[in-house]
Structure 1
Amino acid sequence: MSGGSYNAVTWLLDRNVDEGRGAKLAFTDTVSELTYGGLQQQSRRVANMLRRLGVRREERVAMIMLDTVDFPAVFLGAIRAGIVPVPLNTLLTSDQYAYVLADCRARVLFISEALLPVVKDMVGRLPDLEHVVVSGKDALGHKKLSDELAGESDVFATAATHPDEPAFWLYSSGSTGMPKGVRHLHSNLAATADTYARQVLGIREDDVCLSAAKLFFAYGLGNALTFPMSVGATTVLNSERPTPALMFALMNKYNPTIFFGVPTLYSSMLNDETLKNEPAGSRLRICTSAGEALPESVGNAWKARFGVDILDGVGSTELLHIFLSNAPGDIKYGTSGRPVPGYKVRLVNDAGDDVPDGEVGELLVDAPSAGEGYWNQRSKTRQTFAGHWTRTGDKYVRDADGRYTFCGRGDDMFKVSGIWVSPFEVESALITHPSVLEAAVVPEADPEGLLKPKAFVVLRPGASAAGLHEALKEHVKQKIGPWKYPRWVEVVDSLPKTATGKIQRFKLRDAASK
């Protein structure tokens, strides 16, 4: 795929129709359905609509869209036309949307009706934005997607794009600043499907996929679009917040064979007392987890209750999907597993030298799915994308069996008595205590100015904080070692998290330092 003409939609969608799956269900969103043939027609109508609106090849169109069947139609229709779709997090603030829409210079904004209020005051102030197209029943004075597509032809000559040409952008989560636009190529979608989806998941045509992570996330895009479409499988889309109750309801209604979750959700599904007898459908064969490392206790509890393994792995927006993972028949809970076939990884110290087994280092990845770089961020691009290697910012340790265990983000790690402490390791020990539901650990200076662990914990319903500090200190000492125990324990109602469920430890660090 190194040269010549290649459009990702030809491989991802048109191939399924050519191979006889035109009448097969591709997506259902609980209200509407699209077969592969229907999606092909809709994507061509979207491509024609964009051309009619004057959008040219390589220009951007933004998507603030909930997970309905309109999402893949718009996303794939833009790519078909050689136009670059930019799916955005549906939970951003007005200021963040204003920044991102101006940054990517979107000519058209596709938006779900329910999300219009958060952008209504800015759309007239963005010089590059010419059209707003609404998915829903009431466009509130803007163009209505269904009306715009009704008169369009379903015949369109797919743009003869290059495999190394940007196909779509994804914005990073921006947990420590404004989001950064990652440019992904036409060849990147197939790269994730040919590696993780095929060689780790073993995804099949008869699979039904359900992802808690939304399509605008790199993780969700692979789970719910790239992977199922790579083999002609079916996806169940959910436009609502993925609560434990809703996930169980969808699992029992649609009987997915693969469920893609995140650690926080798995924990909540296991610990909600009102759902303790809920089944997880009758056909579930595998689950995956990413976004943050999965605690060993959660993986074991899920397997014990449902008889199905969770494949814990790690990915990133920059690399599009999972590059380290456990695999069927090769699972060790508490680790991120081994490199996904097709990916190479290194652990390096601050000098850039490889570290031996058992020593903490920063994870670098040589990935076929790596983004081209950040838009308008040359310095950060150079820091992250260093030739073949992408710097993840994650600290890992490799054992003698070649498995990798997450220690923390580079800025989350700290030393106690000269020894590195992994916040994740301490948190994993804390949540095995019967009183603790969730935990986050950050460094705090003691009276002598030396850093020690401080824990923020969310208690299980009915648990008491009385005497808990001493109990948790002893619990952690017994679990992972005497120097790693939290010197301070603060009980909180909830922990700050990103939309993907990652704990925002920097907010807790800021609070602890004040």
Structure 2
Amino acid sequence: MQLSRADHRATPPRVTIPRDYNAAHDLLERNASRPAKVAFIDAVSGAQLTYGELAEQSHRFANALRTQGFAPESRVLLAVLDTLEWPVVFLGCILAGVVPVAANTLLTARDFDFMLRDSRAQGLVVSQPLWPAFEGIVAATGSLKTVIVADAQATADDRPTVAALVQAAPAIRKVTETCSDDACFWLYSSGSTGKPKGTVHLHSHLLQTAELYGRGVLVIQENDVVYSAAKLFFAYGLGNALTFPMSVGATTVLLPSRPTPDSVFGILKKFQPTIFYGVPTLYSLLLNDAGRPKKNELKLRVCTSAGEALPAEIGRKWTAEYGCDILDGIGSTEMLHIFLSNRPGHVRYGTTGKAVPGYELRIVGDDGRECGDDEIGELQ
């Protein structure tokens, strides 16, 4: 199966995705020549997963899904914390042609019940600490056939675990035939105007964002170490912590728990990330933390912000404190990542920058006419 290609000499960059294409296969094959390179680090335990181990375990999990009877295009809900098993499960599903549905792990049992029914998931992969939220709802979900427990070596009720399935499954590297325009994974929107809404993304979408924003704006490279405060179940976090670093062979630090000033600064000092992805409220907390480290204790070269507008004052204070710009931008679950952003070395705090090369944007009024300078309208 062919891989995607990108020509960054073209303006905008030209990304070519072949018809017969599997996104997980592409991400893993890009790193086949660096099997000993660390792909992911658990910030709590310090455990590491190399690119070679990631490929083997992802293929083993894909084979386990096939053995469990999951057919291509069937859906599996992922309620998994940001641990080393998250990328294994996500990529393993895609390799098998199964569609992972990434769920916000901070939601309630009622939300999870809705997502299981709405997605008609046949499988559920759930981190053991999150199982209590599902215990009372899985039996009543008609489509659900299999529950797999993540982040556990064994369970009291003998449910299969990710670790056990990976260990027992064959290491054969088989990729289910998929096309670039096949459904690859689901993400749920925040549901600000009602219930969360499932957003279906195609196999071609992941590497498009990696090439256009990850490489085109951040200039992410193999020697980068990244940490994203936004979790992997967010569109923002998925690109930050999985797609972008894997597209070039960089290293990602994962934190299973919610980020706090202590945990974030602990990661920035211990693992020395060069790229940090945050949100405005977190940057404000970090700047007001009495125990914040000095500039020379960190190795940051670029930071990003999304989710809400970054106040100009916070951006300026951060740059003054750490000599590193925050690239404020706009993205969405539907667009998968940031499509409007400031640029390194050309930041104007108080603005969200310019269109990421490869995207076409315009502002229109109520009459559909493109707005002129200083006119307010809707971004399209």
TM-score normalised by L of structure 2? 0.93
1:46 positional shift: 0.8
**8 Å Cα contact 2:30-2:248 kept in structure 1:** no
Alignment of 1:113-192 (within 5 A): 113-137=128-152, 138-141=154-157, 142-192=159-209
Do the aligned residues in 2 keep the contact of 1:251 with 1:280 (CA within 8 Å)? no
Q: Of Structure 1 and Structure 2, which has the larger fraction of its residues in strand?
A: 1
Q: Which amino acid aligns with 2:91?
A: L
Contact persistence 2:61–2:166 (CA under 8 A): yes
- Give the Å deviation of 1:54: 0.7
Return the alpha-carbon distance in structure 2 between the equivalents of residues 57 and 9 of structure 1. Answer: 14
Distance in 2 (CA, whole Å) between partners of 1:104 and 1:281 is 46
Shift, 1:330, TM fit:
1.3
Task: Report the alpha carbon displacement of residue 278 of structure 1 after superposing the two structures with TM.
Answer: 5.2
Q: Superposition pairs for residues 376-455 of structure 1, below 5 Å?
A: none
* C-alpha RMSD over aligned residues: 1.3
Query: Structure 2 counterpart of 1:336, which letter?
Result: T
In the alignment, the residues of structure 2 paired with residue 80 and residue 281 of structure 1 have an alpha-carbon distance, to the nearest angstrom, of: 40
Q: What one-letter code is carried by the residue in structure 2 that aligns with 1:159?
A: T
Identity %: 52
Partner of 1:317: 333
Q: Which residue of 2 aligns with 1:197?
A: 214
Q: Matches of residues 495-510 of structure 1 in structure 2 within 5 Å?
A: none
Give the corresponding residue for 2:102.
87
Does the 8 Å contact 1:25/1:35 carry over to 2?
yes
Q: How far apart, in 2, do the equivalents of 1:60 and 1:327 lie? A: 37
Which stretches in structure 2 are left out of the alignment for 5+ residues? 1-15
The aligned residue for residue 25 of structure 1 is: 38
**Corresponding residue for residue 334 of structure 1:** 350
- 2: CA distance, partners of 1:99 / 1:247: 32
The equivalences for 1:214-229 within 5 A come to: 214-229=231-246
1:3 is displaced (CA, Å) by 5.2
Task: Provide, for residues 343-391 of structure 1, a one-character-per-residue CA deviation record: whole Å limited to 9, x for no partner.
Answer: 0101111222211111111111xxxxxxxxxxxxxxxxxxxxxxxxxxx
**What amino acid is aligned across from residue 195 of structure 1 in structure 2?**
L
From 54, 66, 86, give the equivalent of 1:71.
Answer: 86
Give the equivalent residue in structure 1 for 2:373. 357
Q: Aligned pair in 2 of structure 1 residues 280, 115: CA closer, same or farther (>3 Å)?
A: farther
Q: Distance in 1 between matches of 2:203 and 2:88?
A: 17
Residue 10 of structure 1: SS of its match in structure 2? Answer: helix
Amino acid in structure 1 at the alignment position of 2:41: T
Deviations 1:279-313 (A, max 9, x none): 58432111000111100000000001111110111
User: For the residues of structure 2 that align with 1:277 and 1:33, how far apart are their CA atoms?
Assistant: 25
**Shift in Å, 1:140:** 3.6
**Is the 8 Å Cα contact of residues 61 and 162 (structure 2) preserved in structure 1?**
no
Structure 2: distance between partners of 1:157 and 1:242: 37
Shift of 1:4: 2.7
SS in 1 for 2:319: helix
**Count of residues in Structure 1 that have an aligned counterpart in Structure 2:** 361
Structure 1 or 2, whichever has the larger Rg, is 1
Secondary structure of the residue aligned to 2:135 is coil
Q: How far did 1:111 drift?
A: 0.7
1:208-287 alignment to 2 at 5 Å?
208-272=225-289, 274-277=290-293, 281-287=297-303
C-alpha displacement at 1:275, in angstroms?
Answer: 2.1
Give how far 1:318 is off: 0.2
For 2:23 and 2:349, how far apart are their aligned partners in 1?
Answer: 35
Q: Which blocks of at least 5 consecutive residues in structure 1 are unaligned?
A: 365-514
After superposition, the C-alpha distances for 1:17-60 in whole angstroms (9 at most, x for unaligned) are 1xx21111000113221111100001111101111111100110
| Other structure's SS at 2:362 match | strand
Contact 1:2 1:164 in 2 (8 A): no
